[in-house]
A and B are shown apart, each in its own frame.
Chain A
């Protein structure tokens, strides 16, 4: 029960007639445990808000079921679902000040005034909005409005907290600061939350598990570490991670007991045949054409490697980002020391088999991560 506190079962959302309208959410299934913080990560328009609104009850599910706290809720009106929500856009009651906006639900629940004040004070302090409590919503900046809306949600006692890009309009420093505080706040109280974001740093920092969405489909649902180490498909592989994963199409062949991966432009990566598990080798050989992915911080410079020409070299203060032309494309590598290469230098690149992610070019699904099958 607790590990399936919230449960989406094959949920579909069409705006307009079923099967004809805009297919915003496609057959999404996921479970959320009680007390868990989930990040819904994806680019704009991928269906994050639609998913959240179906859970909240503002949009009807076109198909599928939603269970929350042991009840099937997809047919219930929002008022019966016991969820709180912080909104992406303008949602404050324009006629009352920020304090009353935040306290709204508590006052409606007839909590004693002293308790309401204490709670509002606490949340406002956490979100750095103590100084604007007496202002009218219309006089606030976008970031202040968002925090007020977030405070109004967090102050409630609800079964589930839905936070739709609650920090989208904040400046980066404040965002980093609040991220930690919000996580602490949620965890301390054992609150279950779904946070929508298109910022992977935020998702990584806040969430126990990340649900990566694209084009209405759930691409992967796993812990931040697993998403990084074992991306389920090419999309998650390239979407999550900064700078993004390098990907190259290759053609595989076996010659003289070695595995040859022919890159575009004629160069080859050569690996010992036992560099990959036998099942991986089989999977690769039946396809012949595959896509390899490698994270920038696992790309090595090594005399024995494949030649590349440096395009840029940026020192970011704590790491170097080098981009080099490689296999008719660009390879990006990250080094922790200041790299002594300049534009035009020839370098040699080594990609270790243990760092390779191999994908099926047709479906984009991961075949292997490092030595073993995906």
Chain B
């Protein structure tokens, strides 16, 4: 490995640059677009020199979109709120249900635990469309269609397996004797869970929560079918940008930027936990 030639290193650098460009450029371009009007966006040839404008963001925040056909009411901010509410509540519920389950699967190894854990994971293999039709019918019968509660419930299909499997791995990585040492020193099962297992798995829980949040945030299909306009998240709400009288590229771009921001911020904030999570490996004797 030490004897990598200059050529090899240059090629590698080029490859990495290409990959980064490939992934970053669209985002960069969208950010630029969000500060332009439709005219400057559609210029031929395109240019990165333009006069920035905040009118796209303004339109989104006030909820009044200018289209060629006139003004259009569109409550983007409430969609954003829905996304936020649905994702946060889903992850919170997912953590409450998933962490104890993960501990049980990781530590207690009861009969059939592998099968149950795998079944839960398999929810993620099935195409959502497969369950949507029966789910819609059940939900309408139960009066759960178009309620936050119903959506949060369905979102567990996304977040619960994820949390369960990630956190379970972290619990398994904590040397069991740390917990035994605490228990034999005069503490009960629950005290040990809350004082030893939970804090030591915290980086994993943070990582799982973050990932689950992003997955929930990006979900489209469940909300599309099960939520009406006032409950729908941005992923579904963004469809409104495609109007009969043309596509508002600038506003779409601003919408995308606004909807990326929370997850991006969360990822940057939780990066610390993710790194800590990796270094927890040092605990293993």
Residues of chain A whose beta carbon lies under 8 Å from any beta carbon of chain B: 56-58, 77-79, 81, 83-85, 87-95, 104-105, 108-109, 138, 142, 145, 149, 152, 156
Residues of A within 8 A of B282 (CB): 138
Main secondary structure of the interface of B (DSSP, over half): helix
A sample of 6 more A-B contacts (CB under 8 A), given A91-B178, A108-B186, is A85-B184, A87-B177, A89-B177, A95-B200, A138-B282, A145-B285
Docked Cα-Cα span, A95 to B199, in Å, equals 9
Residues of chain B whose beta carbon lies under 8 Å from any beta carbon of chain A: 175, 177-178, 180-189, 196, 199-200, 282-285
Out of A87, A94, A145, A156, name the residue touching B180 (CB < 8 Å): A87
A93 touches B175 (CB 8 A): no
Given A138-B282, A142-B285, A91 and B181 contact (CB-CB distance below 8 Å): yes
Given A90-B175, A94-B200, A156 and B185 contact (CB-CB distance below 8 Å): yes
Out of B181, B188, B199, name the residue touching A77 (CB < 8 Å): B188
Q: Would you give the shortest CB distance from B191 to chain A, in whole angstroms?
A: 9
Residues of A within 8 A of B284 (CB): 90
Q: Would you give the shortest CB distance from B92 to chain A, in whole angstroms?
A: 25
Out of A58, A78, A83, A90, name the residue touching B285 (CB < 8 Å): A90
Residues of A within 8 A of B186 (CB): 79, 105, 108-109
Out of B181, B183, B199, B283, name the residue touching A149 (CB < 8 Å): B181
Given A58-B180, A85-B180, A85-B181, A90 and B187 contact (CB-CB distance below 8 Å): no
Interchain residue pairs with CB less than 8 A apart (5): A56-B180, A79-B184, A90-B177, A105-B186, A152-B185
Out of B185, B188, B189, B283, name the residue touching A94 (CB < 8 Å): B283
Docked Cα-Cα span, A79 to B186, in Å, equals 5
Residues of A within 8 A of B180 (CB): 56, 58, 78, 85, 87, 91
Residues of B within 8 A of A142 (CB): 285
Out of A84, A93, A149, A156, name the residue touching B182 (CB < 8 Å): A93
Docked Cα-Cα span, A156 to B185, in Å, equals 8
Docked Cα-Cα span, A94 to B201, in Å, equals 12
B187 touches A79 (CB 8 A): yes
Residues of A within 8 A of B181 (CB): 85, 87, 91-93, 149, 152
Residues of B within 8 A of A83 (CB): 184
Residues of B within 8 A of A93 (CB): 178, 181-182, 196
Residues of B within 8 A of A149 (CB): 181
Minimal Cβ-Cβ distance residue in A for B182:
A93
B178 touches A78 (CB 8 A): no
Residues of A within 8 A of B188 (CB): 77, 79
Minimal Cβ-Cβ distance residue in A for B196:
A93
B183 touches A79 (CB 8 A): yes
Residues of A within 8 A of B177 (CB): 87-91
Docked Cα-Cα span, A37 to B285, in Å, equals 28
Out of A78, A90, A95, name the residue touching B183 (CB < 8 Å): A78
Given A58-B180, A95-B199, A89 and B185 contact (CB-CB distance below 8 Å): no
Q: Would you give the shortest CB distance from A192 to chain B, in whole angstroms?
A: 15
Given A85-B184, A91-B177, A77 and B283 contact (CB-CB distance below 8 Å): no
B185 touches A108 (CB 8 A): yes
Docked Cα-Cα span, A189 to B74, in Å, equals 80
Q: Would you give the shortest CB distance from A98 to chain B, in whole angstroms?
A: 13
B283 touches A89 (CB 8 A): no
